[in-house]
A and B are shown apart, each in its own frame.
Chain A
Amino acid sequence: MAKPTTDKSTKAAEPEYPLTTIAVVAPIVGWLIPGGGHILLKRYGRGILLLVSVVAMFLIGLGMQGRIYKPNGGDILDILGFVGDVGSGALYFLARIMDWGNVMAANAAADYGKTFLIVAGLLNFIAAADAHHIALGKKS
C-alpha cells in the first residue's frame, strides 16, 4: 500500500534566491553599459566607479594602439581575445563601428594596450555578475 505523500515531499524546494526580472535585466544592462547594472540597482557610487574604471582601461588600451579582436574561429587565443573584448559591451560595438583598434602595431605598448582592452571586458563581466548577485539579494 502506497504511503500518503506529504506536501513537503511533493513540493519542489523553493530556491533561496528566486530569479526576478531585475536579476536578469541588471547584468545585461551592466554588460552593455559598464556600471549600468549597479546604477539600475541604485548603487550609484559603485556604478560610477565601475564605469570610470572600465571605460578608462578601455580608452587607455585604445590610446596605446591596442588591437580589438573580431569574431573569429581560428586560434584559441584569438577566440579568447574576442571573448575578453566583447565583455566591454557597448564600448566594443562602438569601437567596431568606428573602426578603432584596427591596428597591427608590433611594439610593447600595443601589446599592453591589447591587454588593457581584454581585461576591461573581463572586469566588466565580473561587474555584471556582481549586479546579478545584488539583484538576487545574495549581496548587499
Chain B
Amino acid sequence: MTFTLSHFSAAVVFALFASIVFGITQRNSTMEQVKYGLYCFALFVGGVFLAGWVMALIRR
C-alpha cells in the first residue's frame, strides 16, 4: 500500500506524533504532559508556517 501526503499534511502528522511522544516522555503529571505536548505541536506547526513564509519571501 502506498500513499502520498502533501508537504504540509506530512509536517502536521509528524508534529502530532512527535508531540505525543515528547509530552509523555518529558513531563511527569498528566496535565503537564498534555500542556507540553500541545506546546510542542504549536511550535512544530508554527515553525512550518514561519519557514513557509520565509521561503515565500525569499522566492519573491
* Chain A residue total in the interface (Cβ 8 A): 25
Contact B5–A50 (Cβ < 8 Å):
no
Interface SS of chain A: helix, strand, loop or mixed?
helix
B1 within 8 A of A: yes
Q: Which of A49, A57, A109, A129 makes the CB contact (< 8 A) with B5?
A: A109
Q: Which of B6-38 contact A (CB under 8 A)?
A: 7, 10, 13-14, 17-18, 20-22, 24-25, 28-29
A126 within 8 A of B: yes
Q: In whole angstroms, what is the CA distance A90 to B21 when docked?
A: 18
Chain B residue nearest to A34 (CB atoms) is B21
Q: In whole angstroms, what is the CA distance A54 to B2 when docked?
A: 18
Q: Which residues of A contact B21 (CB under 8 A)?
A: 50, 53-54, 123, 126-127
Q: Which of B1, B28, B29 makes the CB contact (< 8 A) with A63?
A: B1
Contact B14–A57 (Cβ < 8 Å):
yes
Q: Which residues of A contact B20 (CB under 8 A)?
A: 49-50, 53
Contact A53–B17 (Cβ < 8 Å):
yes
Given A119-B18, A127-B21, 17 more contacts at CB 8 Å? A46-B24, A49-B20, A50-B20, A53-B18, A57-B14, A60-B5, A60-B13, A63-B3, A64-B5, A64-B10, A108-B7, A109-B5, A112-B10, A115-B14, A126-B21, A126-B22, A129-B25
